Structure 1
């Protein structure tokens, strides 16, 4: 295992609280970075998806990474930093998981909710389907769910195993729906997230000679499950929707940053007049402030959230990502903005990341081997 360690003191912007409960003081911080390598045991691990098709055991001891190379799940021990085993799945048949796999979700006892473009189900690590969650859009009753709105992120809770709580997207029309789908009752209950309707203003299509779209600029909508809640956000604004499964409540949060804009800016026509105009708009969109998903630290009882400003350079007539100014926002458990800072120790946009053992682990591909840059944030108690 390779470790690179250094530290730097940082001054954070701090918002005072009247709460008398003793909490970490984020006004004075020490950052440290180290890099750890995962022993692949001579296996070729799937790194091309950036680990975005992966999930963790409840205690964060194991990482389960889906490999599209051979339709398997790679199990990684994050304590020992080594490959544990590969577990194959079938594409077709009674235990088939489908062809294109977007996300996997870990459930207790090494079960996984897996959704593809055509199939939904719960499977064990031996590849056996233990719960059928397939549905047909045209058979759903209740609130309206346009058939072109496809499941982008789905989550399952053992308390209600027949329900998929999901984010549905029509990418070309930049429409987003969040709701609860019951596959047994064949119903859909919409929970409106109208505050994301503005994302249509940042969508531009480039049509080809035949009039069909060949490229599109569209904000990314993401969702992740943290601390018993489903957090829904997008990369164009700092706004969040939070759904609490226990109370079946959904609410909207806005934030006022003292360091960055709270939303991307610019004017984006519905259709680009030329490829040249499309390329300029695409670069402008990429250069604007970009927001990532909050990740929960159970030890400090806060959410850490990265955002960044991407910098580009011209290389052989094309704009190439060079580096980024990275920011870190800290939210308390009620999603109040506690503090924010520039993270000088990071000079490029963070990849897939999570919190384990009090550190933010950021995935890094180093010479085609799985590695993690670990960011420690030591605060006063």
Structure 2
């Protein structure tokens, strides 16, 4: 993974019918998504990192501090981490303020009051401090749970599908706050999810789990663009690119998103100019041409260079990896079209992007 790896995690855990076997170097900042189907080992890996499961073979160090090796095992309560579960699990007899203060009391080195005030503001829960959990919505309870996890001043934040128990509306309520945490937190976050939209919006790195093993690991953009291991975030393969709102066409409710290598038009969701977000481009929405095409409904045409191509899941299809400036792009074509274009590595083509999804 990236050169700023600061978490070393190696675990082997044998259960009847399931084996967890991972050997990972994780970055010391940003959000790393543990992505995969149910039963792939995501939560088991997170529980091993938290010390809630003890692997017979295990090593874990966080920023140079050994939490587990052949001779030592720090129990969970001695590991400086925060843990957010699917359910908020707040103490019903305490107010929101009381729940946060409980989190501070269980830490050897809790957040300073001023820092906790910043967390309260960041998560938008200031007006909720005197309420009891039963007076909160599901989204509000989960934001309080996140604040309580941060109150212990963790060196690592673990989040196990924190939005899974929420309906769509409540999930959309919480996601912007998670994005703010992504921008503001200086500690690494391990985020378990099987939801493509959450991974696309929040993750900087991704670990794809399957059958107890890490099938792929690396920076989000590069890993999603791999041809040897096409990763489907939901319905299809594609890339996620960091971008900035560079221009607005108010008359047609569109914004132009600039990324490393080009610009694309997307639907206007109201973000201000200069807003940093992401665009997700699915391979099925990209077509290729040898020359610029005029008189088309497709708004986005980008000059690109062919990197490589592989057979896709159906014998009629091929998956092509492109480079647009410094950014990767994937296109799904029929083999017939690829043959007609005489595609070859290093060839310049024009990528026509039918639709761009603005994801944050």
Interval of TM-score (by shorter of Structure 1 and Structure 2): under 0.3
The alignment's TM-score, normalised by the length of structure 1, stands at 0.27
- In terms of fraction of residues, the more helix-rich structure is 2
